[in-house]
Structure 1
Amino acid sequence: MLSIGEFSKICGVSTKTLRYYAEIELINPDEINPENGYRYYSIKQLKKMLLISRLKSYHFSLDEIKDLLDAEEDQSEERLSMALARKSREIQEKASALEYTLKQMSHDMFHLQKGIPLMSYLDDIEVQLVETPPMNILSMRQMLSRDDYTAGYGKHFSRLYEKIAAEKLTLLGTPMTIYHSPDYNPAGNDTEFALPIKEAVQGTRDLPGGLCAKSVFKGSYSELTSVYARLRKWIEDERYEWVQAPYEVYVTDPHEAADPESLVTEVYFPVKKK
C-alpha cells in the first residue's frame, strides 16, 4: 500500500487534489485508517490515476472523466475511443480559432505600426440597402444559453435537414438563424433556426420580405459582432429604424470551410425609413 503522500509523489498530483477527487468519487483511497484517518492507495490504482491525468491533459472535464470511468468494462474501450475522437475534433476547432486570432492580431499590429487606428476596420464593412423577397421557411425555435452558442448550431440544423430528407422536401437555400430576443441574455436567447423550402408543411412559416440593411462578412463567426455594430450605426446615421428580428444567412457550410477565414455570412436587418 502507498500513503497518500507517496501516491501523490509518484503520480505528480497534490494531496489536496487527491482529497478532492475522493470527494467527487473520481478515485477513492483503497483504505482509510479508522483510527487516524490516514489514506492509503494500492499499487493497482496508479494506472487509474495516470489515466485520469492523461485525460485531463487532453482537456476532458472531471465530469467527463468520471463518466468514462463509470462505464461498464465491456463498453469502456469503445466509449473511450469515441470520446477521444470527439475531443480531438473540439481541440482542432479551438486550434483553428486560435490560429485565426493570431493572424488577426498580426494584422492589427501591422496597421497600428502604420498609424492606422485599430477599430478603423469597422468603416470598411460595406452596408447595402436591399429588397428581400418573402420566403417559406422550415424552422424551429429554441432558447439558447451562452454555452449553447459556443457549442454551435449543428445539431439544430441537423434536425431540420432530417425532416427535409424524410419528407422529400425541396431545399431552396442555405441555413439561416433569426434572433428574436430584443437584447443579449447569457441565460437564454430566443433563436430560430431555419431552412428555405418550397413546400408548405407542418413546421413551416412565411418570412416576410422587405427592405433590409445588409452586410456580407467573410471570416470567423466570432467577428460578427463587428458587423452588427456597423449595421446599427449605419441604420442610425441614415435615419432608418429596425423593424423586425435580424437574421444571418450562412452562405458557406462551416463543415466544408477549410478555415474560419473562408466562412461567408450575410447579415440582414429589416428596416424602414423614419
Structure 2
Amino acid sequence: MEDKEFYSIGEVSKICNISKKALRFYDKIGIISPDKVRDDNNYRFYNRTTLLSLPVIKYYKQMGFKLEEMRELFEGNTYALIERQFRNKIDELRELETTIHNSYTSVKDWYDLILEAQLVIENDVHEVAVKYVDTTVYAFMEQDFNYNYRESIINIDWTNYLESINNEITGSVVLLFPSFHEKMEGTCKRAKIMQKPLLKYQEDQVTRIGGYMAASCYHIGGHENIHETYAKICEWADSHGYTCAEECYERYVTDYWTTRNEEQFVTEIVVQITR
C-alpha cells in the first residue's frame, strides 16, 4: 500500500478488498466516514488511520457482530461498554450454538432412522434377536390407546405437552404398553408415548427405560397385522426357554412422519426377557 495522506474510495476498495457500495453504506450508518469529501464532486477520501478500521470491522463481522453493534463498539470509549457488548455476544452465540446443535441432533437422528429402515427392508430383517437395551431417558406422557396408530404417533396432545414443559425431542416415537399380551390380543387401552428430550428437564417429566436383555423383532409394513410379530416373539421365547415381561414397547423407526407408503413402515418391537 502506497504511503500517502489520503486514499480515494476506489483505492480503499482495492487495498482493503471491500466494495465501494459497502464503504458508502458504512458512512451512511455512521461506522466509518470519509475524512475528506470534495465539494465539487462529492468524492470521498480516507486517511491511513481510517483504513486500519476496516480489518477490525471484518473481524467483528467474523465474530458475528451486526453493523449496529459495530457502531456502538467504535463509539465506545470505556472497557465497561466494550466488555458488556462482548459478554452479550457470547451469550447470544452460546444460545445459537445450542439451537444449531439441537437441530443437527434432530436431523441426524432422523437420518439414522431412515438408514436403519432401509437396511431392515433391503435385508428383510424380520427374525427375533436377543439384544441388550441401554438405559435411555425419555420424556413421556400417559395417554389412551385405541389402535389408531396415525394419531398416536403424530400426536397433537404430545406436541402441546412438550411445548408446555418447554422441551424439544429427537429420535423415534416410542409407545410403551403395560401388557405384552393385551397389546398382542388387541385389548390394550393405555400407552405411554415417549421420545428423547433435547433440553433440560425435571425428573418428574422423564422416565428411564432399559438396562436389561430383550427380545427384539422388526415388523415391516402397516400396523394392522403387527400382532403377528408379537406372536412370533412369544413362540420364539417359548422355544428358547425365555419368559417375556409384561411391559413392552414399539419403536417406530419409519412411519407416518417419514412416508405415506405403509409398506415402507418399519417398527421394532422390544420386550424384556428372562430365563
Q: Shorter-normalised TM-score: what interval?
A: 0.3 to 0.5
Q: TM-score, normalised by structure 2?
A: 0.47
TM-score between the two structures when normalised by the length of structure 1: 0.47
Greater radius of gyration (CA): 2
